[in-house]
Amino acid sequence: MFYDPAHTYEENYHEGPWGDFGAFERGDGKSYGVFFGHTLTSPIGIGAGILPTSRHIEAAVIAGFDPVTYKTVRRRERPSNPFPNMVRLYPKGTDIHPDDTVVGNVDMRGFDVTKDGATNSFGVPSKTPDVWQPDLARAVAIAKGKATLIASFMGTMRDGMSREAYIADFVETARLVKQTAVPVMEVNLSCPNVSGIHGLVCHDIETSAAILAALHEAKGDTPLLVKIAYFPPEGPLEPLLESIHQYADGVVAVNAIHAKVVDKEGKQLLPGDSSRLYSGTCGRMVRWAGLEMAERMLSYKKKKEWRDFVVVGVGGVTTPEDYRLYKTIGVDVVESVTGANWRPELAYEISAKT
Ligand SMILES: Cc1cc2nc3c(=O)[nH]c(=O)nc-3n(C[C@H](O)[C@H](O)[C@H](O)COP(=O)(O)O)c2cc1C
């Protein structure tokens, strides 16, 4: 396991990962396509979340994933939400939709990632740039020639902040990321932009366009991916894709699905203030959302004939069969987060069948 939910975020950050990832080393030397000019050494990558340090990146590279994503960083320090941050969800095998209420359990014993759902509630913690910049630079060196490193980042909305200052925070963070010479950057637009739960930046088309326009200059010649959340079928996905195409190089979907997580009595499960009633559900139960978004993004890309526009599919990939579903739709790259965390053998398994 890359990120161990039985430990706090700080323990994972300072001491993890604990497993032996060499057992899954492939060394098949095959090429799985080209990603922004870099040859992919694996059929599957790891999306943002479970690789918060260069040690975790190293483990993911050893386990044969490519590309590998360094967990989202910010310009200022932000602590993690209180422990626990990941719990299992019931019932097994169901799909979770935005705003659903689901029963969770902090006891993860016997957790089977191919059937059980999970939720994560971290609040996107970050160290200060003087800590993450040198570590990200180390990750760049570790991954070089073996896997393409993607660095995820975001701006931070603070009380009383103007829209301009918020946009400037994205730009400044992008500059700090770019200084590490990371080959690919990813802006996380699927985070809340106001205190409260539902105001995701990517659902605010005007603000997203303004952020992307500002990032266009800051990114220079470094490819920029944009991580977005689920859009309901009537939602404004197409105008957002237009801005992404205009100012960036590709899109990654889907982020976790916001749902209410309660205990058996129907009370908020995770400790802390009422904002923790909602958390981001991930894994098998959100695969439908990742597949649906992949279909919609690819059909728009085809209609517009955007040849070089990269579409990355993520959400609920826990087996080679899940991977195949995304590839059949035609995404350029498939990533896994929750599935790869509990099944670091996934890259090995998929490449054996590809
Ligand atoms: C432990 C954990 C932490 C995450 N942290 C981030 C993050 O920092 N930035 C981000 O864009 N997405 C984050 N995500 C969302 C994932 O990148 C992914 O979009 C989502 O979990 C769906 O994929 P999955 O079903 O393979 O987990 C996180 C997911 C998990 C499980």
Q: Which atom of ligand 1 is nearest to the CA of 336?
A: 26
Q: What is the mean pLDDT of residues 153-165?
A: 92
Beta-carbon contacts of 206 under 8 Å, excluding residues fewer than 6 positions away, are: none
The predicted structure's pLDDT at residue 148: 98
Q: Which atom of ligand 1 is nearest to the CA of 47?
A: 17
Q: Which atom of ligand 1 is nearest to the CA of 48?
A: 17
Q: Token pair 């009370």 is at which residue?
A: 267
Q: What is the mean pLDDT of residues 332-352?
A: 96
In the reported structure, the alpha carbon of residue 189 is separated from the centroid of ligand 1 by a whole-number distance in angstroms of 13
The predicted structure's pLDDT at residue 27: 66
CB 207 within 8 A of CB 169: no
Q: Is the pLDDT of residue 188 over 70?
A: yes
The predicted structure's pLDDT at residue 196: 44
Mutate to test the pocket of ligand 1, among 1, 13, 119, 120 (most ligand atoms within 8 A of CB): 120
Q: Is the pLDDT of residue 24 over 50?
A: yes
Residue range 279-338, pLDDT digits in tens: 999 999 999 999 999 999 999 999 999 999 999 999 999 999 999 999 999 999 999 999
Residue of higher predicted confidence among 200 and 22: 200
Residue range 73-104, pLDDT digits in tens: 999 999 999 999 999 998 777 899 999 999 99
Residue range 277-293, pLDDT digits in tens: 999 999 999 999 999 99
CB 186 within 8 A of CB 225: yes
In the reported structure, the alpha carbon of residue 20 is separated from the centroid of ligand 1 by a whole-number distance in angstroms of 22
As a whole number, the mean pLDDT across the chain is 94
The pTM for the full model equals 0.97
Distance CA 122, CA 255 (A): 14
Domains of the chain in sequence order: 9-81+124-255+285-353 (3.20.20.70)
Q: Token pair 């970050």 is at which residue?
A: 126
Write the DSSP symbol of residue 80. P
Q: Is the pLDDT of residue 195 over 50?
A: no
Cβ of 182 less than 6 Å from ligand 1: no
Cβ of 346 less than 6 Å from ligand 1: no
Distance CA 73, CA 95 (A): 30
For ligand 1, atom 31: residue with the closest CA: 338
191 pLDDT band, cuts 50/70/90, is: confident
Show the CA angle centred on residue 63, arms to residues 59 and 67, nearest 5°. 85
Cβ of 71 less than 6 Å from ligand 1: yes
Residue range 30-76, pLDDT digits in tens: 899 999 999 999 999 999 999 999 999 999 999 999 999 999 999 99
The candidate with the shortest Cα–Cα distance to 319, out of 342, 298, 296, 297, is 342
Q: What is the mean pLDDT of residues 18-23?
A: 86
